[in-house]
Amino acid sequence: MSRPGIRAAGNVLNLKPELWDSHFLRACRGEATKRTPVWLMRQAGRYMQHYRGIRSGRSFLDLCKDPALASEVTLYAREWLDVDAAIIFSDILVVLEALGLPLTFATGDGPVLGKPIRDGAAVVALRDPLTAAKDLGYVHEAIRRTVTGLPADIPLIGFCGAPYTLAAYAIEGGSSRQFAHTKTFMYRDGGAWNALLARITAALIPYLNAQIAAGTSCVQVFDSWVGHLTRADFIEFVQPHLRTLVAGITPGVPVILFGTETSHLSDLIAACGADVIGVDTTTDLSATWERCGGPTRIAVQGNLDPCLLLGPRERLLKAADVVLAAAGGRPGHIFNLGHGVLKETDPEQAKALVQHVHARTTR
């Protein structure tokens, strides 16, 4: 079920021993760790004063495209929280922009993609995927700068949006509740649908591999919207493309597959070659781990509700203990939230959570 050979591949990237044996990468490979590694999705973001200072006066996209600042934001959050991994500051939608869709972030309204894709002609009109991947060099430069600033035992995670989620954004022209345009497209024109997902996948593979060449030692694929699909539709319309993507990622690099509201799909997602399955807030971590093959086949990441960071400290830490108990101290658990940190979060709460997980799990 796992990506062929991932754990047997060994240290093909020639990572230094401190990095290869870091808590985080060991857990990705399902190996025992001295403590449970922890990082937080969207750990660098609006909830931090440092981030707001750097963001003020520039757009979100401008920040993504400035390698020095993207790197600084990444490193600051990692160090301040003392988490076991950094994740490069960027956005999944830059790939769609590179493929030719005008991207803006309207205040409060989320992303807007001009020229939404509604037919096969619009798919053909997308830019060449290799050219698109090359145009994302600012992400790769941010990665190069970040790895030089990280402690030797802290991995940097790269990421991208999954083919389905990016296709849904491209077709809807932004986010959506029902994904009516996306599903209509999918049901009515399977040929154009597959062409679109193939085009996106063809951009994502070189984009991720360039991230790895630039210094990331793990990648996470965010399939944010895939939870809206039934199992049958996932198998027919999505799974082949997700498999292709994972198969194209440089061997030896652990792949985390994550989507929200995917409890009904987790085994199918895992079967796409995930080394780590990301578990969202409302999904049962222990049951999902078993359904995906258990600790001997796959690692698991998750899944504290980020809203708990907004409540009292005592409730937060108790809930963290519940997540740790669900993982049961078995090798291959990476502690994380089940969704990104909310902008309303007090950073001290996030820091206390990290310290608590470390203290509780030091073996």
**Cα-based distances in Å from 327 to 88, 254, 298, 313, 359:** 26, 19, 13, 21, 16
In three-state secondary structure terms, 221 is strand
Task: Reply yes or no on whether 91 is catalytic.
Answer: yes
Task: Reply yes or no on whether 177 is catalytic.
Answer: no
x-marked contacts with its own copies along 231-270 as a string, rule CB under 8 A: xxx---------------------------x-xx------
Could you identify the residue written with the tokens 């993207």?
70
Q: Which segment (3-11, 62-70, 221-229, 271-279) binds its own copies by CB under 8 A?
A: 221-229
| Cα atoms found within 13 Å of the Cα of residue 324, Cβ hemisphere only | 20
In three-state secondary structure terms, 317 is helix
Q: Which of 100, 161, 103 is nearest to 131 (CA)?
A: 100
The CB-of-180 to its own copies minimum distance in angstroms stands at: 5
Task: Reply yes or no on whether 187 is catalytic.
Answer: no
Within 10 Å of residue 339's Cβ, how many Cβ atoms? 21
| Sequence-ordered list of residues with C-beta below 8 angstroms from that of 306, at least 6 positions apart, any chain | 41, 281, 337, 338, 339, 340, 341, 342, 345
- Measured from the CB atom, the residue of 29 and 339 that comes closer to its own copies is 339
CB 258 within 8 A of CB 298: no
The CB-of-283 to its own copies minimum distance in angstroms stands at: 7
Answer yes or no whether residue 180 interacts with its own copies by CB under 8 A.
yes
Answer yes or no whether residue 107 interacts with its own copies by CB under 8 A.
no
The CB-of-237 to its own copies minimum distance in angstroms stands at: 11
Q: Which segment (67-75, 92-100, 144-152, 337-345) binds its own copies by CB under 8 A?
A: 337-345
Task: Reply yes or no on whether 42 is catalytic.
Answer: yes
| Sequence-ordered list of residues with C-beta below 8 angstroms from that of 189, at least 6 positions apart, any chain | 119, 120
x-marked contacts with its own copies along 277-316 as a string, rule CB under 8 A: ----xxxx--------------------xxxx-xxx--x-
Which one of the listed residues 7, 55, 127, 313 is annotated catalytic?
Answer: 55
Task: Reply yes or no on whether 360 is catalytic.
Answer: no
Answer yes or no whether residue 322 interacts with its own copies by CB under 8 A.
yes
CB 20 within 8 A of CB 330: no
- Measured from the CB atom, the residue of 273 and 302 that comes closer to its own copies is 302
CB 352 within 8 A of CB 313: yes
Annotated catalytic residues are: 42, 46, 55, 91, 169
Binding residues for its own copies, rule: CB under 8 A, are 178-180, 183-184, 186-188, 227-233, 261, 263-264, 281-284, 305-308, 310-312, 315, 319, 322, 339, 342, 344
